[in-house]
Chains A and B, each alone.
Chain A
Amino acid sequence: MPNITIDGKTVEVEPGTTVIQAAEKLGIELPRYCYHPGLSIVGQCRICLVEIEKMPKPQVACYTPVTDGMVVHTQSEKALRARKDVLEMLLVNHPLDCPVCDQAGECWLQEYYMRIGQYDSKMIEDKVKKNKALDLGPHVMLDQERCILCTRCVRFCDEISKSHELGIFNRGDHAELAPHPGKRLDNLYSVNTVDICPVGALTEKDFRFEARVWYLEATNSICPGCSTGCNIAVHTNTERTHHAQGRRVVRLKPRYNPEVNQWWMCDLGRYSFKSADDPSRLTVPMLRQGEQWIETSWEVAIEAVAQKIKSTAADRVGLWASPQLTNEDLFVLKKFAGRLGLTRVAAALAPLEKPVSDNFLIKEDHNPNTRGLGLAGFPVETKASADLLQQAADGKLAVLLIFSHDLSQSFAADAVTSALAKVPTVIFIGPNRNATSAAAHFILPAAAWPELDGTFTNFAERVQRLRRAVAPLGDARPVWQIVKLLGKPLGVILPYLESEDVFAALARENSAFAGMSYATIGDLGHQRGEEAAAVKARRLNQVPDKLRIIPIFG
């Protein structure tokens, strides 16, 4: 194993490690634009130049492999001068439009200018002009002038999405990023190019000019878009409500997890946050009187629903759980159903249309917690759902609790309408209004996923944490809390105060989650069956947060 000395500190690294990777191991940050650990190395931005003893010229740290005994200086006069020169070149033709640039606040030209630049400009010539606001595809906009031609996006399209839409055209300082003739940046992963763009060249249409990044807060969470459970950060804007048309959740960014999604996420999942601030959100409990919906308090609604359940035999109460619910929700709901002796239970639905999927990140199961559903003891086969709907249609149900589902997405609308019409009391518990909630008699508003603390179990049985990024809208509550409220008048006492309490009970009582806790899950999840020692070692080996979360570092 080669030893390398960087700025006087020595570290032993794996053969094949590059200088930039060895520096990271020592916590030494080297500037980078073209280098991204998930892409091939091209060494073309030249901002990571360092001085290596016995080498006459500065060398790029990203491409140079470590050799035993190598001595590197990242702060020598020669290295600093080289990097400063490169930064100056990068800014020669870059527009000085930081005040209006959408990347302001997270632009690495700004960052490095402050750290290694800070010179008076020698440039008094005219800049090269290129195209502004070039529409690349459904989600991405390009400002050719701001592009520093690091080719991260080109390599992403060649190596990760393998869709080959982008290229560098022309030569010299007239070189510019553009789509190949006849192509558009229209693949299922297109917005990752925005994430990895180190400057303001590629911007996301949905987020563009909606909010300044320094007003945003980031919360680690899990994408609910499919059973992969990509690790993400939820970016929220709660202090400036006049921004982004009042949206609190303004964007999602992928978060590095080598075991799940690496640095990437799909565009489908990326826009799954829209429902959280959608006008269809349910924010207060409601009960129907004739054709009218009456808003009411939790007390009144819970009392009314509980009375309906209490006055009905257990075998005439149906319950429709959902793979959209967290492990905590499902654990509490399972206890609730068990204590009441409910047997007519369904959970999973097969969508009418075949969902989009691929062999990279997007799974055919577009639910985040189907595996958790099964581990919690709910039926995962869709036949149970067809049976339950049939039981409703046959008039065998007096009360039906439906969690989150819009049944019309899986069954013919007529069949759903006629079946629900046969059920005297339909209770819908979910975050958004839909065709099913319209047919209900009671609506209990549930918190949306960005408003939740909890866990999902992905398709590979990796348990991962959602963290609450914003408070539930209006009177909405997490499902497990609603079930807890509902249980009390029914004599089902569920003594949990926080979601962590629920998970602790789950880990105690369900062997599938034995040994897990929010601490062991951490930011990167806890794989079922993973030894505690391995979990601990992984946590210790984590790349420092700064190097992992900030997009330019991957």
Chain B
Amino acid sequence: MTPNGGILTPLIKQNCQILRNYLEAGGYAAARKALAMAPDEIISEVTKSNLRGLGGAGFPTGRKWSFIPKNSPKPKYLVINADESEPGTFKDRYIIVHATHALLEGIIIAAKAIEAHAAYIYIRGEYVEPARVLQAAIDEAYKNGILGRKVLGTDYELNVYVHRGAGAYICGEETALLESLEGKKGWPRMKPPFPAIEGLFRCPTIVNNVETISYVPAILANGGEWFAQLGSERNGGYRFYSVSGHVNKPGVYELPHGTTLREILYTHAGGIRNGKQLKAVIPGGSSSPVLRPEEIDVRMDVDSLAAIGSMIGSAGVIAIDEDTCLLEVLEVTSRFYHHESCGQCTPCREGTGWLEKVLARMHRGDGNRQDPDRLWDIATGIMGNTICPLGDAAAMPVFGFVKKFREEFEAHAQYGKCHTGAFTSWQPPARPGA
């Protein structure tokens, strides 16, 4: 599946949801090492590794941990974001189910780094099986003295709790996640204060993604510099790419940062299915702006994608072949964001629904020439004006599709028909008065 072995892939192959297998693979040695280290030493090692948040935001992990106030009298919390809900993204699920103990070991190390004695894993409600596997691994860890009052035989206490969400995309946004974890409606909080200062139960809290934390044991075991060298300039190590859509081999691929999109699609995912042409590709989950086929030589990392107006996000690559109506793709995407908008702030609450309505109208053939501009305007009204990034997530695909495939939207608006396949040979029907 993965060239060069990868970091977590070997563990996944060894079924490290089972403690015995993980121990045989050298598991929990890094945690033992970390428990003997000072918190600052751990943070320093992670900072050196250039590990950046792999949930979507890409914030440097070591730096994030360093924001936890040292002298706060309040308890500190570690929260693992396992609410993987971005369409096109399914790598955390894979890690949770097959490298469960790597995640737990990462939790022990991160908790020690920020001096937290309680960690919560907030897992997406629909992830029934992963939640079951996770709980079984935690139970096994408690039974073997890996978690609890004396973590791995030391005086460090750490308790880990699994909290299942109730099925809201917004609860993957870190502050909405915290609200939900506190038993409240999953509405995002205004920032500042950031969670590192005032997070769960108004106490200092670090929220990290599953994949991010799962890489931490490897960093402690092999050193931050080793990890940094594996990646690209400012992105240490590997990451998981979830590849879906019209490819021959959809799946999860652990590859170095900076692997090109072309290589992911054509080398690892087997190219476009049925020998079709690639029409478009979404590089980082459904919220990231779409790319045209001529752009797929881009390196898949935060900076390279930003340079061409898109984003790596959660690295959920969605390939779209030549037979697909892009207006329909955008409509489905917008329907998702409309459905998942929490309704707290005005632009997202009202704008996401409006976007979907315009696209649905165009899709059923009632579009007009102003519609592409109308979509652009509505997205502009949402973008940057909301409390949390969900509004931006809804607006960015609109910008991407309308900008890069405008001719397709104009054709829909003008002729009320889809522009797929051999559009150039297709003639619009005569209209009365035309």
A44 touches B346 (CB 8 A): yes
With the chains together, A47 CA to B347 CA distance in Å? 10
Whether, in the assembled complex, B93 has its beta carbon less than 8 Å from a beta carbon of chain A, the answer is no
Q: Which of B342, B374, B385 sits near A122, CB closer than 8 Å? A: B374
Whether, in the assembled complex, A24 has its beta carbon less than 8 Å from a beta carbon of chain B, the answer is no
A172 touches B341 (CB 8 A): yes
Query: Could you give, for residues 75-96 of chain A, a 1 whenever the CB lies within 8 Å of some chain B CB and a 0 otherwise?
Result: 0000000100110111011000
A172-B381 contact, Cβ under 8 Å, with A45-B345, A47-B346: no
Interface 9-residue window, one of A123-131, A181-189, A414-422: A123-131
Chain B residues 369-425 with CB under 8 Å of chain A are 370, 374, 377-378, 380-382, 384-387
Whether, in the assembled complex, A174 has its beta carbon less than 8 Å from a beta carbon of chain B, the answer is yes
Q: Which of B343, B354, B370, B378 sits near A149, CB closer than 8 Å? A: B343
A107 shortest CB reach to chain B, Å: 16
Whether, in the assembled complex, B2 has its beta carbon less than 8 Å from a beta carbon of chain A, the answer is no
Q: Which of A89, A125, A149, A175 sits near B361, CB closer than 8 Å? A: A125
B339 touches A171 (CB 8 A): yes
Q: Which of B340, B343, B358 sits near A168, CB closer than 8 Å? A: B343
B381 touches A86 (CB 8 A): yes
With the chains together, A173 CA to B346 CA distance in Å? 9
B354 touches A125 (CB 8 A): yes
Query: Could you give, for residues 332-350 of chain B, a 1 whenever the CB lies within 8 Å of some chain A CB and a 0 otherwise?
Result: 0000001111111111011
B252 shortest CB reach to chain A, Å: 29
Q: Which of B340, B341, B350 sits near A90, CB closer than 8 Å? A: B350
Residues of B with C-beta under 8 A to A171: 168, 339-343
A46-B341 contact, Cβ under 8 Å, with A93-B353, A168-B185: no
Whether, in the assembled complex, A148 has its beta carbon less than 8 Å from a beta carbon of chain B, the answer is yes
Whether, in the assembled complex, A511 has its beta carbon less than 8 Å from a beta carbon of chain B, the answer is no
Residues of B with C-beta under 8 A to A148: 346
B190 touches A46 (CB 8 A): no
Whether, in the assembled complex, A49 has its beta carbon less than 8 Å from a beta carbon of chain B, the answer is yes
A125 touches B357 (CB 8 A): yes
A172 touches B339 (CB 8 A): yes
B335 shortest CB reach to chain A, Å: 10
A63 touches B346 (CB 8 A): no
Q: Which of A44, A49, A60, A125 sits near B344, CB closer than 8 Å? A: A44
Whether, in the assembled complex, A245 has its beta carbon less than 8 Å from a beta carbon of chain B, the answer is no
B350 touches A89 (CB 8 A): yes
Whether, in the assembled complex, B352 has its beta carbon less than 8 Å from a beta carbon of chain A, the answer is yes
Residues of A with C-beta under 8 A to B357: 125-126
Whether, in the assembled complex, B351 has its beta carbon less than 8 Å from a beta carbon of chain A, the answer is yes
Whether, in the assembled complex, A57 has its beta carbon less than 8 Å from a beta carbon of chain B, the answer is yes
A46-B386 contact, Cβ under 8 Å, with A171-B341, A172-B341, A172-B343: yes
Residues of B with C-beta under 8 A to A57: 384-385
With the chains together, A235 CA to B379 CA distance in Å? 43
B156 shortest CB reach to chain A, Å: 38
In this complex, how many residues of chain A approach chain B with their Cβ under 8 Å: the count is 37
Residues of B with C-beta under 8 A to A58: 384-385
Query: Could you give, for residues 41-64 of chain A, a 1 whenever the CB lies within 8 Å of some chain B CB and a 0 otherwise?
Result: 111111101000000111010010
Residues of A with C-beta under 8 A to B384: 56-58, 82
With the chains together, A46 CA to B384 CA distance in Å? 11
A85-B381 contact, Cβ under 8 Å, with A43-B190, A171-B342, A172-B339: yes
Chain A CB within 10 Å, residue with most, of B340, B346, B358? B346
Residues of A with C-beta under 8 A to B343: 149, 168, 170-175
Residues of A with C-beta under 8 A to B353: 92-93, 128, 172-173
A89-B381 contact, Cβ under 8 Å, with A46-B386, A123-B354, A173-B353: yes
B188 shortest CB reach to chain A, Å: 9
A45 touches B346 (CB 8 A): yes
Chain B residues 87-136 with CB under 8 Å of chain A are none
B190 touches A63 (CB 8 A): yes
Query: Could you give, for residues 209-252 of chain B, a 1 whenever the CB lies within 8 Å of some chain A CB and a 0 otherwise?
Result: 00000000000000000000000000000000000000000000
Query: Could you give, for residues 277-312 of chain A, a 1 whenever the CB lies within 8 Å of some chain B CB and a 0 otherwise?
Result: 000000000000000000000000000000000000
Chain B CB within 10 Å, residue with most, of A42, A43, A171, A175? A171
Residues of B with C-beta under 8 A to A56: 384
A92 touches B354 (CB 8 A): yes
A86 shortest CB reach to chain B, Å: 5
Q: Which of B340, B377, B380, B386 sits near A172, CB closer than 8 Å? A: B340
With the chains together, A42 CA to B354 CA distance in Å? 24
A46 touches B345 (CB 8 A): yes
A46-B350 contact, Cβ under 8 Å, with A88-B381, A172-B340: no
With the chains together, A128 CA to B353 CA distance in Å? 9
A86 touches B190 (CB 8 A): no
A531 shortest CB reach to chain B, Å: 40
With the chains together, A160 CA to B1 CA distance in Å? 60
Residue of B nearest to A33 (CB): B346
With the chains together, A104 CA to B351 CA distance in Å? 25
Query: Could you give, for residues 132-174 of chain A, a 1 whenever the CB lies within 8 Å of some chain B CB and a 0 otherwise?
Result: 0000000000000000110000000000000000011011111
A49 touches B342 (CB 8 A): no
B341 touches A85 (CB 8 A): no
A172 touches B190 (CB 8 A): no
Residues of B with C-beta under 8 A to A43: 190, 345, 387
Residues of B with C-beta under 8 A to A168: 185, 343-344
With the chains together, A145 CA to B333 CA distance in Å? 26
Q: Which of A44, A125, A126, A174 sits near B345, CB closer than 8 Å? A: A44
Residue of B nearest to A43 (CB): B190
Residues of A with C-beta under 8 A to B387: 43-44, 46
B170 shortest CB reach to chain A, Å: 8
Residues of A with C-beta under 8 A to B340: 171-172
Residues of A with C-beta under 8 A to B344: 42, 44, 149, 168, 175
A89-B351 contact, Cβ under 8 Å, with A125-B357, A171-B342, A174-B343: yes
Residues of B with C-beta under 8 A to A123: 354
A173-B185 contact, Cβ under 8 Å, with A85-B347, A86-B385, A89-B346: no
Chain A to chain B contacts (Cβ below 8 Å), 18 pairs = A42-B190, A42-B344, A43-B387, A44-B346, A60-B190, A82-B384, A85-B347, A89-B346, A89-B354, A92-B353, A122-B378, A123-B354, A149-B349, A168-B185, A171-B341, A172-B341, A172-B352, A175-B342
10 pairs of A and B residues whose beta carbons are closest in the complex: A175-B343, A85-B381, A173-B353, A125-B357, A172-B341, A89-B350, A57-B384, A44-B345, A92-B350, A43-B190
Given contacts A46-B387, A172-B340, 8 further A-B contacts (CB under 8 A): A43-B190, A60-B190, A82-B385, A92-B353, A93-B350, A125-B357, A172-B341, A175-B349
